[in-house]
Amino acid sequence: MFFRGLGRPQGLAFDAAGSLYVAAALHGRRGIVKISPNASSAELFVAGMNVVGVAFGPQGEMIVATNDAVYSLPLGIPGMLLIER
């Protein structure tokens, strides 16, 4: 098991440093939860209701999806680059 304690986890994305971002609830607070690469810590990184998805754009922006909208947050976080071989 990687990490326990999230409520209703849905979308997820990794940054270039290996941190995991999950659309979920943590200790009763909802939004985007950031989990360290070794899963030793977690924090509510972006608060928001009805968050269902997260991704990183090419300019380091975090894309957050809710039930009825999509937001772009200019946070300067490079996402993990996946190369298909």
pLDDT greater than 90 at residue 13: yes
Q: What confidence score (pLDDT) does residue 83 get?
A: 66
pLDDT tens track for 33-61? 999 999 999 999 999 999 999 999 999 99
Q: Where are the domains of the chain?
A: 6-73
* Contacts for 50-53: CB closer than 8 Å, 24+ residues apart: 51/10, 51/11, 51/23, 52/10, 52/11, 52/23, 53/10, 53/11, 53/23
Confidence of residue 1 (pLDDT cuts 50, 70, 90): very low
The CATH number given to 6-73 is 2.40.10.500
